[in-house]
């Protein structure tokens, strides 16, 4: 019974997060399309056969579909959900052309396509800003509150009360910066500058690899300095409306850069591609996050919204970034790419995206089976 309840909670949390983010993303496309006079024929949450829907007064069909992994808006003049041009475009009347996506100016089409990912980032900023405005931001000073016995820091001579100034040349302003730096670090060697009794001391040593449990209970090897924070060296910073928005924008930018850095490390082989998670991992984390309360789930939604916006901007045909790439090429050449070239691009992009999805599913299933086997043994 407990397993059924946990599964139900996981699915509810996952579908709630996914539905909200898909709606936000597609609404970005929808609203900018409407502003630019494009008729929207379908606004779908999910793919495949329709579960339920209705038509609004402008003729748009709003619906939920059976496959919940995404969604789409279909513009007037599109042949499919991928926004490929309809073969009947040349036969349209002048009045119909005014409402067709493919007859809009280049900058209008680019704005419509870009709006989806842009609204995902904006949505994340608003969530994070709301948290900062409501609860403030807790800052822990980068002061060593304790040194773990037998850890790397103790061996290197780090002492309680040391204030960490830089790690590997990167400025450290709070204790969270230390954790983030170590999370993205792929080398064992570390160089740390600390302030001790008004004197700057440089320490160079190797980090220790330790076992750490993640939110799903998996044990992972992580690099650790071997220090604890000082709970007395903390400050709760309160922000107004504009301060919250500014800090949220900075945090969204930082999260995006860390995502890109981690992905780049996977591409060059510095980080294992097994860390790449798919829908199953997202669902499990959503369910686990929901156990900590609605605030944790909302924060998780902001993080996933940033990832969704970032991925959709990758210059891969079939993704929004791929369409923007074609528009950029068209702007430089002052000539539209041929339908044949675009079709080849979409096929290549489709294969890449499908391959990535299959690989992510494989990682998800592998991790899930390992978890089940470890529990049963």
Instruction: Give the position of tokens 């220090």.
Output: 227
| Domain that residue 316 falls in | 2-36+104-135+282-376
Domain boundary among 208, 237, 266: 237
Q: What is the pLDDT of residues 105-158, one digit of tens each?
A: 999 999 999 999 999 999 999 999 999 999 999 889 999 999 998 889 999 999
What pLDDT sits at residue 120?
A: 97
Q: Are the C-beta atoms of 248 and 129 separated by less than 8 Å?
A: yes
Average the pLDDT over 23-38 and give the result.
96
CATH number for the domain that contains residue 194:
2.30.42.10
**Among 4-13, 102-111, 234-243, 298-307, whose mean pLDDT is lowest?**
4-13
Exposed, middle or buried by CB within 10 Å (0-12, 13-18, 19+), for 180?
Answer: middle
Say if residue 160 is in the same domain as residue 210.
yes
- Is there a domain that residue 264 lies in? no
- And the tokens for 19? 């539905």
Instruction: Give the position of tokens 């279909």.
Output: 74
What pLDDT sits at residue 216?
A: 66
* Helical residues (DSSP H) of 90-195, grouped into ranges: 94-97, 106-135, 152-156, 175-184
- Is there a domain that residue 27 lies in? yes
Instruction: Give the position of tokens 């579909």.
Output: 65
The average confidence (pLDDT) of the chain is 86
Query: Is residue 91's pLDDT more than 90?
Result: no
Say if residue 25 is in the same domain as residue 125.
yes
Say if residue 32 is in the same domain as residue 119.
yes
What pLDDT sits at residue 372?
A: 45
Alpha-carbon span 229 to 40, nearest angstrom:
54
The model's confidence at residue 185, banded by pLDDT at 50, 70 and 90, is: confident
Q: What is the pLDDT of residues 295-321, one digit of tens each?
A: 989 999 999 999 999 999 999 888 899
Say if residue 9 is in the same domain as residue 125.
yes
Secondary structure, 3-state, 309-348: HHHHCCCCCCCHHHHHHHHHHHHHHCCCCCHHHHHHHHHH
**Among 24-38, 163-177, 279-293, whose mean pLDDT is lowest?**
279-293
- And the tokens for 105? 């100016």
- And the tokens for 371? 């978890």
Query: Is residue 238's pLDDT more than 60?
Result: yes
The model's confidence at residue 256, banded by pLDDT at 50, 70 and 90, is: very high
What pLDDT sits at residue 377?
A: 40
Alpha-carbon span 165 to 333, nearest angstrom:
49
Q: Which residues are catalytic?
A: 26
Q: What share of the chain is helix, strand, coil (3-state, %, to 5)?
A: 55, 20, 25
Q: Are the C-beta atoms of 33 and 101 separated by less than 8 Å?
A: yes
Say if residue 142 is in the same domain as residue 188.
yes
Total domain count, the chain = 2
Say if residue 122 is in the same domain as residue 146.
no
What pLDDT sits at residue 28?
A: 97
What pLDDT sits at residue 10?
A: 82
Q: pLDDT higher for 206 or 220?
A: 206
What pLDDT sits at residue 20?
A: 94
Kindly list the distances between the CA atom of residue 227 and the CA atoms of 113, 185, 206, in Å, as whole numbers in the listed order: 47, 17, 14
What pLDDT sits at residue 3?
A: 66
Query: Is residue 239's pLDDT more than 80?
Result: yes
Alpha-carbon span 223 to 216, nearest angstrom:
19
- Is there a domain that residue 110 lies in? yes
The string of DSSP letters for 131-145 reads HHHHH-EEEE-SBEE
- Is there a domain that residue 47 lies in? no
- Is there a domain that residue 50 lies in? no
Say if residue 227 is in the same domain as residue 305.
no
């Amino acid at each position: 019974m407990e397993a059924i309840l946990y599964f139900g909670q996981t699915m509810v949390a996952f579908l709630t997060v996914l539905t909200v983010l898909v709606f936000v993303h597609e609404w970005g496309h929808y609203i900018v399309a409407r502003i630019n006079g494009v008729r929207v024929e379908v606004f779908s949450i999910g793919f495949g056969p329709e579960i339920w829907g209705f038509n609004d007064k402008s003729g748009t069909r709003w619906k939920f579909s059976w496959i919940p992994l995404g969604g789409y808006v279909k513009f007037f003049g599109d042949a499919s959900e991928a926004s490929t041009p309809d073969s009947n475009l040349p036969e349209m009347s002048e009045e119909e052309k005014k409402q067709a996506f493919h007859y809009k100016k280049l900058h209008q089409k680019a704005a419509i396509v870009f709006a989806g990912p842009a609204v995902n980032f904006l949505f994340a900023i608003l969530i994070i800003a709301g948290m900062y405005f409501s609860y403030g931001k807790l800052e822990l000073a980068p002061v060593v509150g304790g040194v773990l016995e037998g850890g790397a820091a103790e061996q290197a001579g780090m002492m309680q009360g040391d204030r960490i100034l830089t790690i590997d040349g990167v400025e450290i302003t709070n204790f969270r910066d230390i954790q983030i730096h170590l999370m993205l670090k792929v080398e064992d060697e570390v160089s740390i500058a600390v302030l001790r009794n008004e004197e700057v001391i440089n320490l160079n040593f190797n980090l220790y690899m330790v076992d750490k449990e993640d939110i799903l209970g998996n044990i992972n090897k992580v690099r650790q300095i071997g220090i604890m924070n000082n709970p007395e060296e903390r400050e709760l910073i309160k922000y107004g409306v504009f301060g919250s928005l500014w800090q949220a924008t900075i945090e969204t930018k930082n999260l995006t850069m860390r995502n890109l850095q981690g992905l780049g490390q996977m591409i060059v082989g510095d980080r294992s591609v097994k860390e790449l998670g798919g829908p199953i991992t997202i669902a499990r984390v959503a369910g686990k996050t929901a156990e900590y309360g609605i605030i944790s789930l909302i924060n998780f939604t902001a993080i996933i919204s940033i990832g969704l916006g970032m991925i959709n901007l990758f210059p891969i045909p079939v993704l929004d970034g791929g369409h923007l790439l074609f528009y950029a090429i068209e702007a430089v050449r002052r000539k539209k790419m041929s339908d044949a070239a675009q079709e080849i691009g979409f096929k290549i992009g489709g294969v890449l995206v499908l391959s990535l999805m299959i690989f992510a599913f494989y990682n998800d299933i592998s991790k899930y089976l390992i978890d089940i086997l470890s529990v049963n043994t």
